Amino acid sequence: MSTLTIEMLFPEVANLHGDNANITYLAQCRPDARVIRTGLNERPAFLDEHVDLLYLGPLTERAQLKAIDRLSPHRAALEARIASDAVTLFTHNALEVLGARIRNDDMGYDAAGLGILELEATLAMMGRYSGKVMGPVPELGPEHPIVGYKSQFSMVDAAPGLAGFLTAERGIGRNTTTPVEGVRVGSLIGTSLIGPLLVTNPHFTRSLLARLDPDTEPALAHEEYAIAAYDARLAEFRDERRWHPGERLQKPIAAR
């Protein structure tokens, strides 16, 4: 077993919606893990040493712009990392930092992102979307789909060829007209789902642990409760009565 190194970017501002528990839980699954917390005014560790998992979590709108500002000098290194085997996980609106543009008319800005991904985010500050999402991922069989939640101001439009984290069986994807949710590019997993993802999806977490360290048998912390919680949630997600019209995909405007 080699020590697992996890870097959390900007946790002092990227800590909304309980999502940093993704890393808390992962670190409990691997008690030997070294967690590096890199502040806004610090140099990211992944630039100088091997980091097994690079993580950025949910941000306020202001912090989203700061994250872009701080990562801009390291754009090439981040792009190279994504092209390598080293895993990068961006959750909720952190994914949008990697895109070409974030447009927020309500707050009066139209900002360039890092431009690593061909996607754009549009925020509607008086139109927060909340809903459930369920869909399979390639790492797991159809019996273990991802279950998660969206609660966000933004909708994302991406280039047609950009692979998703998952394709939603239920719920919406990057926006209300597509079931394709999130992004997979190289070693990057980007998803707008909260829950937190790794806590509410223990089977996926197990597969991620195996990917991060193929030489170590993955073990889940508090496995009994994690699996029981997943099974209970999945059973309810499979109950048609618990889905609402607002969680259904809509036809693209052009096709209506």
Partner 1 sequence: MRVLLAVWAAKLTAALLRVLGRQGTHVPGIVARRIHPGIIGAVRHPARVVAVTGTNGKTTVSNLLAEALLGEGMRVASNRSGSNLAAGIAWALIAAVDWRGRPRADVGVLELDERSGRLVLPGLHPDVLVCTNLTRDSIKRNAHPEYIAWILSSELAADTMLVLNADDLIASSLGGESNPRVHFAVERLPGDTETPTGAALDAMTCPVCDQLLAWDYWRFNHIGRAHCPACGFRSPDAAYRARDIDAAASRLVLGLDGDAREARLVNDNIVNVYNEVAVAAALDVLGVARDRIVSAFDTLVPPTTRFASERIGEVLLVRLLTKGLVGVACSRAFEYLRSFPGRKSVVLTIDEWSERENEVENTAWIYDADYEYLADETVEQLVVGGNRRYDQALRLAIAGVDPDRIRTAASETEPAELVDVAHADAVFNLHSVHNALTTGNATQARLRARLARRAEADA
Q: How far is the CB of 253 from partner 1 (least distance, A)?
A: 26
Angstrom distance (rounded) from CA 173 to CA 182: 7
In the complex with partner 1, the residue whose CB is nearer, 150 or 174, is 150
Q: How far is the CB of 189 from partner 1 (least distance, A)?
A: 18
Q: What is the 3-state secondary structure (H, E, C) of 133-171?
A: EEECCCCCCCCCCEEEEEEECEEEEECCCCCCCEECCEC
In the complex with partner 1, the residue whose CB is nearer, 86 or 133, is 133
In the complex with partner 1, the residue whose CB is nearer, 83 or 228, is 228
Angstrom distance (rounded) from CA 250 to CA 175: 9
Q: How far is the CB of 151 from partner 1 (least distance, A)?
A: 5
Q: How far is the CB of 143 from partner 1 (least distance, A)?
A: 18
In the complex with partner 1, the residue whose CB is nearer, 190 or 196, is 196
Q: How far is the CB of 165 from partner 1 (least distance, A)?
A: 17
In the complex with partner 1, the residue whose CB is nearer, 71 or 117, is 71
Residues within the interface to partner 1 (CB under 8 A): 12-13, 15-21, 24-25, 28, 39-41, 60-62, 66, 107, 125-126, 128, 130, 132, 149, 151, 153, 194-196, 199-200, 221-222, 225-226, 228-229, 232-233, 236-237, 241-242, 244
| 11 Cβ neighbours under 8 A, 6+ residues apart | 20, 37, 38, 39, 57
Torsion over CA: 161, 164, 167, 170 (sign): negative
In the complex with partner 1, the residue whose CB is nearer, 8 or 86, is 8
- Is residue 39 classed exposed, middle or buried when 0-12, 13-18 and 19+ CB atoms within 10 A define those classes? middle
**Side-chain-side CA neighbours of residue 93 (13 Å):** 30
| 214 Cβ neighbours under 8 A, 6+ residues apart | none
Q: How far is the CB of 161 from partner 1 (least distance, A)?
A: 31
Q: Please check whether residue 132 is in contact with residue 171, taking contact to mean a CB–CB distance below 8 angstroms.
A: yes
Q: Encoding tokens for residue 220? A: 């889940």
